């Protein structure tokens, strides 16, 4: 059943899910880094091999934060906490907990022009628990660093309402010689609140080398870090108790607030079941 009281939150608490992830590399301000392939606990994920149309993801997937389906189908985030350190002065950044819905492979980084994707359907885990794409975002994830070539990268997509032909560009703009684990998100057209499917991927300039993937994901929570050697957390009240749907594949992104190096992060997640 749905949880509507704090007593229900407490009654449904599941065992603690601890996590530790090593550094993702040298950050660039406002460019997320994916911790999907980064070692730690859980360990790093395997590089996708599903082809351009990709594959929908359902737990368990190697590399994800552990998540067990409640019998009722009603799971919520009750607590998300972390302690992290960062070199340099006045460090800042945030960790973003997401549900990974879909990923692909086979994109040519040297081809210019459009490459057909025609993504398979997402699993029914958008904001509404459907396949329509409400709240679903798309990222360009690098499992191998790219080479020279400052390409302009975009996707053609169908929005959450079923309207095809929308276009989204990388935000921030893709930069030549991007580091491994870089994760560029795509902007949406005005009025769009999600992506139902991807029709094509376009790169205007060869990236020379590297391996990139498209990822469909839904943001669950964002944890702002001050890196002041203390724990930062969201709970059922301050985090809004977002719902997760059966077979969720939780993973972390890191959003740097400056260019100081990002060191290991330690934390824990508590799910509660209704």
Report pLDDT for 29.
Answer: 78
Report pLDDT for 24.
Answer: 64
Question: Of 77, 30, 73, 54, which Cα lies nearest the Cα of 212?
Answer: 54
Report pLDDT for 252.
Answer: 96
pLDDT tens figures, 182-234: 999 999 999 999 999 999 999 999 999 999 999 999 999 999 876 555 688 99
pLDDT tens figures, 16-36: 999 998 876 666 777 889 999
Task: Give the whole-angstrom CA distance, residue 84 versus residue 81.
Answer: 10
**Residue 235's Cα: distance from chain center in Å?**
20
Task: Give the whole-angstrom CA distance, residue 244 versus residue 64.
Answer: 14
Task: Give the whole-angstrom CA distance, residue 37 versus residue 52.
Answer: 20
Percentages helix, strand, coil for the chain (3-state, rounded to 5) are: 0, 45, 55
Q: Is 238 exposed, middle or buried (0-12, 13-18, 19+ CB in 10 A)?
A: exposed
Report pLDDT for 23.
Answer: 72
Helix or strand (DSSP H, E) at 6:
helix 6-11
Which residues of the chain are under the pLDDT cut of 50? none
**Residue 210's Cα: distance from chain center in Å?**
20
Report pLDDT for 101.
Answer: 98
Report pLDDT for 224.
Answer: 87
Report pLDDT for 261.
Answer: 54
Report pLDDT for 31.
Answer: 83
pTM here is: 0.94
Report pLDDT for 68.
Answer: 94
HSE at residue 241, side-chain half, CA atoms within 13 A, is 19
The answer to whether residues 214 and 118 touch, using CB atoms and an 8 Å cutoff, is no
């Amino acid at each position: 059943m749905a949880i509507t009281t704090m007593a229900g939150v407490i009654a449904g608490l599941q065992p603690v899910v601890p996590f530790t992830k090593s550094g993702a590399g040298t950050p660039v301000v406002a460019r997320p880094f994916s911790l999907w392939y980064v070692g730690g606990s859980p360990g790093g994920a395997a590089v996708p091999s599903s082809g351009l149309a990709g594959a929908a993801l359902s737990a368990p997937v190697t590399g994800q934060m552990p998540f067990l389906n409640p019998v009722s189908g009603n799971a919520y985030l009750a607590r998300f906490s972390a302690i992290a350190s960062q070199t340099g002065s006045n460090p800042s950044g945030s960790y973003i907990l997401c549900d990974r819905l879909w990923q692909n492979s086979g994109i040519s980084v040297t081809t210019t022009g459009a490459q057909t994707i025609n993504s398979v359907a997402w699993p029914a885990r958008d904001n509404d628990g459907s396949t329509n794409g409400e709240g679903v975002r798309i990222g360009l994830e690098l499992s191998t660093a790219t080479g020279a070539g400052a390409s302009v990268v975009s996707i053609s997509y169908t929005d959450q309402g079923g309207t095809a032909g929308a276009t989204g560009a990388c935000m921030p703009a893709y930069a030549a010689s991007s580091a491994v684990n870089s994760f560029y998100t795509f902007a949406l057209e005005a009025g769009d609140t999600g992506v139902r499917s991807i029709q094509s991927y376009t790169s205007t300039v060869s990236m020379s080398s590297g391996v990139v993937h498209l990822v469909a994901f839904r943001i669950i929570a964002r944890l702002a870090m001050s890196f002041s050697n203390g724990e930062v957390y969201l709970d059922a009240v301050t985090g809004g108790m977002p719902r997760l749907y059966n077979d969720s594949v939780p993973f972390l992104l890191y959003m740097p607030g400056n260019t100081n190096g990002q060191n290991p992060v330690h934390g824990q997640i508590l799910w509660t079941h209704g």
